[in-house]
Amino acid sequence: MTGASGHMNGAHFVTRTCLVFLLAFECSSLVQKLPDNASEKKSNIIFILTDDQDVTMKGMTPMVKAKKLIGDAGMIFSNMFTSTPLCCPSRSSILTGKYIHNHNAVNNTIEGRCSSPLWQNGPEKKTFATKLKEQNYTTFFAGKYLNQYGNKHSGGYQHIPPGWDWWTALLFNSVYYNYSLSVNGTLEKHGDDYHKDYLTDVINNRSMEFLELQNDDSPPFFMMISTPACHSPYEAAPQYLNNFTKESLPKDPSFNTHAKDKHWILRQAPTPMSNSSLQFVSDVFRKRWRTLLSVDDIVSNVFGALTRKGFLDTTYVIFSSDNGFHLGQFSLPNDKRQLYEFDIRVPLMIRGPGIKARSVNHKPVVNIDIMPTIVHLSGAQPPSDVDGTSLVPLLMSSSKSTAWREDFLVEYQGEYAPNGYKGCPHTEFLNTCYPNCVCEDGYNNTYACIRKITESVNTMFCQFSDSENFQEFYNLTADSHQMINIASQLQPGFLAELNDRLITLSVCHGAECRKLQPVHQIREL
């Protein structure tokens, strides 16, 4: 509901929601109880976040320990998405529970407000870290924060975001060697010695140091363990360099195919891909998997420590990624940033008190749901101004008819170089042209989409902000790989409805974004 009619008195809205939708979030969250053993003392919460880990190319395959310790012992969400397929905007949404049109970190640059002074003076002051500090949690962070963290224009390494007690953050983007950390505001430089410097292992060791200091008399703790894997430059630990040598890159129908009837960024990709590009994506695929083995070690060590310290039954553990990835789909060699399933689907597993083991939930959930979920698991009510919805009703409910959203927004603002990408054709306003000058981003790669999943509908509609006013629509029930754009076949009335809904989502805020659906419309798939 938008415009003046969308701004109702809060109490009236809750009452009306409860009466009409029965189990909508605003109603169910008022009565949703955490397990008794968690309510006696606040539960500990651990959030493990990977970087660029896909689902569609079997990106969870290397995570054998994580799957056993988290997924098999808790709930797996089979329809988990990012609301924007790029690191900094997605991480900003994860931290704040808001779509990018509300936190305004639109890309990975300072100019795009990634870890910028505007971000720091606004959204960064209202993250799950600040909310958990209000609940007297001890908070710990280790790893990659935001791509421009450490920039001299935003306070450099001395800046510690509010809400964090223990702070070990990578300056700038994911790497594995030769980097600097901000350790509670002090600069710590690392080189290329595996035993001292391999970043995933450094994060592992610092996490273990923190956990070993906790005891039964300690305040509840929250940990965010944010690994560089499986982001480029894809450098695995030495003991894993020979793993997966016989594994082949999964090749679905979209692999190395011409992007017919799709937006310009895809249409310009040469098809078939060059031999060098094919070799490149095959090598990257195996390298990405190898880097994830060290993340699996983190998960194993975390659970070992929780067991030794007696925290296993009082701790929630969340595992997810900031965005997906592609390697050769529609002949795009190596990136994310696109609207398709391979870039927006991500893993999500949650284990903890009251969550049934080996459970799978098929409802559509989004990265903006992580912040209110973490706050809710701490025993507090999620903030009223977030766009996401707490997953606690799904985690704790035995009912298969819990009301839930039927659609959500995916949005992205294209990143571009004002003078073009040097050395490549079609250089005006292009960015990320690699390898072989295949450009995967640009000013006209700006879009907003409705992704809809119900018992009977599985669709995606996208509107581009480009010179063509390009549109894409996919029926994923019949076309799961999004091969055929049928936007031109839509009836005018239906297209108008889609555009109206897209406009509503593109400007929504708070409760307007969280609008759920009646139980009789949304059920387990």
Catalytic residues: 87
pLDDT recorded at residue 427: 75
Q: Express each pLDDT in 307-361 by its tens digit.
A: 999 999 999 999 999 999 999 999 999 999 999 999 999 999 999 999 999 999 9
Could you tell me which residues come within 8 angstroms of residue 334 by beta carbon, excluding any fewer than 6 positions away?
280, 281, 284, 326, 327, 434, 435, 440
pLDDT recorded at residue 10: 32
Q: Express each pLDDT in 365-419 by its tens digit.
A: 999 999 999 999 999 999 999 999 999 999 997 666 688 999 999 999 998 887 7
What would the mean pLDDT of 88-106 be, rounded to a whole number?
98
Evaluate the omega torsion of the peptide bond into residue 435 and state whether it is cis, within 30 degrees of 0: yes
pLDDT recorded at residue 395: 97
Model confidence, pTM: 0.92
- Per the prediction, the chain carries an average pLDDT of 90
Q: Specify burial of residue 259 (Cβ count, 10 A radius: 0-12, 13-18, 19+).
A: buried
Q: Express each pLDDT in 270-316 by its tens digit.
A: 999 999 999 999 999 999 999 999 999 999 999 999 999 999 999 99
Q: Could you give the CA distance from residue 229 to residue 224 in angstroms, rounded to a whole number? A: 15
Q: Express each pLDDT in 130-153 by its tens digit.
A: 999 999 999 999 999 999 999 999
pLDDT band at 27 (very low <50, low <70, confident <90, very high): very low
Q: At residue 516, does pLDDT exceed 90? A: no
